[in-house]
Every structure is written in C-alpha cells, then in structure tokens.
Amino acid sequence: MNADLHCHSTVSDGWLEPEAVVRRAAANGVELLALTDHDELGGLDEAARVAGELGLRFVNGVEISVSFAGETIHIVGLGFDHRHPALIEGLKQVRSGRDARARRISEALEKAGIRDALGGARQFARNPDLVSRAHFARFLVASGVMPDVKTVFEHYLVRGKPGFVEHEWASLEEAVGWIREAGGIAVIAHPARYRLSTAALEELFDRFVAAGGEAVEVVSGAHSEDEMRRFASIARRRNLLASRASDFHGESESPVDLGRCNPLPSDLTPVWSRLG
C-alpha cells in the first residue's frame, strides 16, 4: 500500500493548507494518509473532508513534542479520536510553552546580530499559536542570512548554536498515554534523526514499549537506506509495527514528496494493518 503516515500543513510548520496537502497526496497516488501536525489537531476535520471527497483513505494523526535525554523526540499518534479530552488537554499544555520558547529563541538570535527574528518568524506562521524553529529558519533564509533551511538549523538552531534554547516538552509516557487514551497507536517518528547514544536509544525504545508504544517509522523521508535497515532490524527484534512516512513539509524543504518514500521491507507488519 502507498501509505504516507507523517506530513504537515500550515496548521503547524508545513507550507500547504490541509486541503492542498490531501490533494497533493491523492495526485501522487497515496492510498492511505495521515496529517500529523506538531502538537495540533486543527487541520484534521478539513483534511478528512477533502480525503472523503477524493476517495482517499484518511486517519487522524498528530506529532507530539517530547523531551528525552536532552533531546526533543517526536511521537506520532495515529488513528485516534481527535475529540478525546485527555489528548486535547495534553496538547494544549504542550503548545502553551511555545510562545515563551519563541521569545527566547528571538532573544538568542538578537545576541547573534539578527534583529526582530520573532516578528520575522511570525510572518511565516499561519497558526499564531505555533511559531516553530522552522518558521525562524524560513525567516533567516528570506533575509539572506543562510541559503536554505537545513543550513540555518546547522548554524543557528541546534544544540550548541546561537539560536538554540532549552525547552521542556511532554514526557514520553505522557505523550504515549494521551494517544492510547484516545484510542490511537503511538509511533516513534524518524528515529535516525535523534542525537542519542546507542544506550540512550535502547532506553528510548525500552520506555516507549513499557508505556504502550507500538510502532516505529522504519521508512522516513529523513532516513538513508542504511538507517532504514537499522530500524527495520529494531522493529523485528522488539516486535514493533512498522510505519512509512515522507515527513513532507513542502516541495522546497522536503527531500521526499508525499507518497514517494521507499516501501517497507516485506517481512515487517505495517502499522496500517491495525488502523481501522
């Protein structure tokens, strides 16, 4: 199945409106789609409506920000009730810290010589409650400071760089718990992206499974072939369901378009086998 179970719209840090994301996915031959905006559920009703009009199978999704071992980890939720009060309240708590973080990032960038970065970032954020590092990066690209978003992150927005600020997100157990309470499946998103030691990565999976997490993104737009094989092996060893995702944000920023990532290894159990 051409499933794409991780992508973003303007409700968080994607370039396209939810309707446009769904239409692009359908045009690319996607058969099963999940919209997974960061800590937000606001695009799901529109995306589901358009998917229904196009005959595209759609499941609710979200990508929750988690603090773990000094890193920001992302947990994707799939197939949940997006009106469940525990999930809604949990995501509200996560989002409540974003404004303060955005102000601290702007202050840090000002010390590095970049003025009014918050005002600039807000020009790129369609959702005023969700100003992310991606929006700061887009502002720096538009200002000519760096040539592309990837370079901005490398020089300004990751740990040890001038615009990086510490922030405490949800705990791993909280995020998985909210997803499960709402009837969904929790997935570790793009695990190759995290700067974790082998021991810390094993601890991440230990705690994830203990909390009730069930799946891992084996195929991701952020994964190389070697990384795909590595996490396929972990899925086998830990008896985890496997997910497939582009993590599409927009044509100019994403290495893989909607529905165009590698197929899952045939011996893995796809997460969509458990999605209604």
Q: How confident is the model at residue 99 (pLDDT cuts 50, 70, 90)?
A: confident
Q: What is the pLDDT of residue 210?
A: 98
In the chain, pLDDT over 70 holds for what percent of residues?
100
pLDDT at 276 over 80: no
What are 8-60's pLDDT values in tens digits? 999 999 999 999 999 999 999 999 999 999 999 999 999 999 999 999 999 99
Q: What is the pLDDT of residue 172?
A: 98
Cα Rg for the chain, rounded, in angstroms?
18
pTM of the model as a whole: 0.92
Place of tokens 């692009």: 24
Cβ(76)–Cβ(83) under 8 Å? no
Residues 6+ apart with CB under 8 A from 113: none
Question: Any idea what the Cα angle at residue 114 is, between residues 9 and 138, rounded to 5°?
Answer: 20
Beta bridge partners of 61: 78
Cβ(265)–Cβ(240) under 8 Å? no
What are 178-194's pLDDT values in tens digits? 999 999 999 999 999 99
In the chain, pLDDT over 90 holds for what percent of residues?
94
Burial-class residue 236 by CB neighbours within 10 Å (0-12, 13-18, 19+): middle
The Cα–Cα gap between 22 and 102 comes to: 29
Cβ(37)–Cβ(63) under 8 Å? yes
What are 67-83's pLDDT values in tens digits? 999 999 999 999 999 99
